[in-house]
Structure 1
């Protein structure tokens, strides 16, 4: 997976200036997929917690039945308890269902995942092709 990229998607208050692509109040920033903690959380399919600059960063994969939807990152003032890690993991799993269900009602998540804009012809062609799915586990990656 090296060489690929993650896209950070978040909602910002109106008038806040941020780097990255903007669509109304939404911002998408491409992040490197460089074998770092983000990639490791996704590859291993479990929560990773690390201390950085006096705060703790918890990275939780957002997946549903092996389909990688995204990564939930939380910055915490103190180390999370085991109960907190479990609760956030359940929230991330629930978030996967929300994203999947909302794909029918908005293109926001798809827009956020894109790293380049499509022409109208390319968009029409892409819509005619079947969806590509990825299923990852500790011992394999299956893409179709």
Structure 2
């Protein structure tokens, strides 16, 4: 099992939105960065877990999700009227992929980015590196557990 961090702008899709989805499950669509796409397409597997990160407004880790469906073509790239449209992606030759995630847990309180920077064991975490903007990032078991332990303390 691999561990991940998934970023989403809460005004577009929040942990609360996932909780309120049918079966608390949704597709993780709209990823339009090749490196992030490759991680989802090639490395994310059924049962992998991820930290759910709200970006932009009050950036913070807010909970966890589980991958419940492995990579498949992101059909939102074919919708000419949608926000994620890519004219170079087709059903016959998809350029973008997505996975399905299921709500796992919500932290008692969000853990802000500034607070994450103070936690021992997260010094090398990709999220905390300057210029790191990937919306899909691998997380080490130690980093994942450090954040879970910190969240449990309230």
TM-score band, normalised by the shorter chain?
under 0.3
Compare relative contact order (CA 8 Å, sep 6+) and give the higher one, 1 or 2: 2
TM norm structure 2? 0.23
Max radius of gyration: which structure? Answer: 1
